[in-house]
Amino acid sequence: EIMKYTHYKNRFSSDSNGVSHSSDEWSDFVSTITDKSKWLSFTASDTTIYSQAKTQFDAIVMAEMKPNMPRTADNVKTFYAIVLDIDNGATYQDVRNDLKKYEYVLFSSGGTGLKAGDRFRVILPLNVPMPASDWKKYNTSLSERFPYSDECFKKGIQIQYLPVLNTVYADRFIVE
């Protein structure tokens, strides 16, 4: 199954600089995400240093966007995955148990070790890509289905950081 997504070199990327539109087989996408040797690494012993480092993290929107257009809901063509943003709303094990019937990739987020609780992202591919016009009909039910995720995931166009590794807490970062 093909996944289309939009990659942002960092959260300040503009349409003409640092934005790319990609498509991969789900298995290739997972292989890339789970290869820790490809993760950007940084060194942050406190949240201030982390906030500064975060400005350079790569991010994605798991949707096909209209090329050369701003990241707005009106410029989304099709959604290919749901990305959960879990920041101390559930444990890794809670989510593993909840999603055991689904295919997904899970990885620690950059604040791991610096902030309390398990902090991670989960990307769940959609069986059938969803037209942007349908997203608004379903995003409320997503909050009901995944109450442990930060509400930002419902927007669909919220950038989600790709995996990174804080060398100070490297042993706490997982991917599966």
Between 137 and 84, name the one with better pLDDT.
Answer: 84
In 3D space, the residue among 108, 134, 130 whose CA is nearest the CA of residue 121 turns out to be: 108
The helix or strand, by DSSP H or E, that contains position 146, with its residue range, turns out to be none
Q: How far apart, in whole angstroms, are the C-alpha atoms of residue 69 and residue 103?
A: 31
Whole-prediction pTM value? 0.93
As a whole number, mean pLDDT of residues 76-90 equals: 92
Residue 15 reports pLDDT greater than 70: no
pLDDT of residue 166: 98
Q: What pLDDT digit, counting tens, does each position of 30-48 carry?
A: 999 999 999 999 999 999 9
Residue 89: band (very low, low, confident or very high) from pLDDT cuts 50, 70, 90: confident
Q: How far apart, in whole angstroms, are the C-alpha atoms of residue 129 and residue 125?
A: 9
What would the two tokens of residue 12 be? Answer: 């300040």
Residue 16: band (very low, low, confident or very high) from pLDDT cuts 50, 70, 90: low
- Could you tell me what percent of the chain has a pLDDT over 90? 69
Which residues fall within 8 angstroms of residue 73, CB to CB, at 6 or more apart? 132, 135, 155, 156, 157
